[in-house]
Structure 1
Amino acid sequence: MSNWQWFHRLGSPRWFYYKTEGWVPWLAAVSGILLVLGTVWGLAFAPPDYQQGNSYRIIYLHVPAAFLALIGYYVMAVAGAVGMIWRMKMAFVVMKSAAPIGAALTFLSLVTGAIWGKPTWGTWWEWDARITSMLILLFLYLGIMALQAAFQSRDAADKASALLALIGTVNIPIIYKSVDWWHTLHQPATLKLTSAPTIHSSMLYPLLTMILAFYIFYALVLILYTRAEILRREGRTQWVIDLVKEEAKKP
């Protein structure tokens, strides 16, 4: 199958729903194992930091959540762009499904950052460039969710949400580069593609495990949200009616 054929098949709600059915248990198992492994490794076996002591361990939740909050916004924005350009309804389904997941991850990032900030900076909140731009990201996610609920027309809601998602992408590089562009309390990035990590391997490996776990968990939750949204949108189609009948027959 060519990439173009795969792309068009992926645009079919029915094909996506049935194709991903077998992925769910595998993604759930792998993400669950990695989450348990990374959590136990990071909280119980990684050594304390020589300056921050044990308070640094919040990074095993904070960093993966922040990573996925940013990546998830791009997923949402790209899906919105695909929906507007190729008028692919599955893309709009993915865009809508990605919004609440991204909002939850952004909220988790802000909360864990506040928990880390209290013993480190002496305050729960600071109008720091990185923190403020992350708060704007949360508002963008919530704004897209609000737009989806505000319009009676699904088509109008999808287009308005996609437009806001695309406009909001300017905030992502600001978040990433804020610690470099402005004087900020937030420490520079621990992991960079252009340089070696600034964290010891005994702390790095459990962090990488948690990041991988979050990526797989994100894929799992996005697929589940998307499958649920497909059933909502396609509820009157014959294939969904037949699916419901088949499920009803099962013991």
Structure 2
Amino acid sequence: MKKWILAAVLLCVVQANAQQRGRNITDRLTALSDRINQKIQSDARYLDRQQLNDLMDHLQSMRAILNGNSGPSYPPSEDYSVRGRIENASFSFQVRSLEELYSQCSEFYASSRIGQYDDVNVSFNFGSEQRYHNSSSYWNGAFQACGRAAVFAKSQGLRTVSHRYEYVVTGAMEAASFMFVGNSLNDIASQCEDFHRSNRIGAVDDIFVSKNFERIQAYHNSSGYWRSDYETCQKVVQSVR
């Protein structure tokens, strides 16, 4: 009888140790995944195309494992073509995610020194062209063009690479474009306030926001200005909660 009791105790200890090891591995995997995602958000624009392709292949393989599939859900080496123009400035991007599209488009806007514009045309994978026209005024800043390009590309099947993030928030404070990512509203608020302070935004009366590359929401303060980082970011966070 004592032998059976001892065996049962040993079995419980082994199972407990195995469960603890499993939890430790899970915790380590979660922490590593968070660090990798943060690294992607901060450094992806510095990688060359081959490095980005390799990174995307690995991410697709990991997603396939989590989904219980033997292979990725779509060819990991596939690039998507997003072409068009902002006014008369033509662009052609080869991308694999909405984040990559938004980043490339923002860099294109900055390097092309486009300034104000009221026409944006976008085609996804050489399909029909989508036109956006501002009939009441002019747009200024990268977000108005790049946000619309991303919204259209998402409607055509392009997806986000930030699978672990609940929030991918793009938008603009006046003409200052941003992209924040996180798993909580506190994450977004913190990044937003840092952005506001580091870019010395000052008082604004127009804010534009898109959550996870969905429809763009526009907010105008008709009675005054949002002057502080708190006031401005409170409006941004409220729009995506």
- TM-score, normalized by length of structure 2? 0.26
Query: 1 or 2 for the larger relative contact order (CA 8 Å, sep ≥6)?
Result: 1
Greater strand content: 2
Give the structure with higher Rg (CA): 2
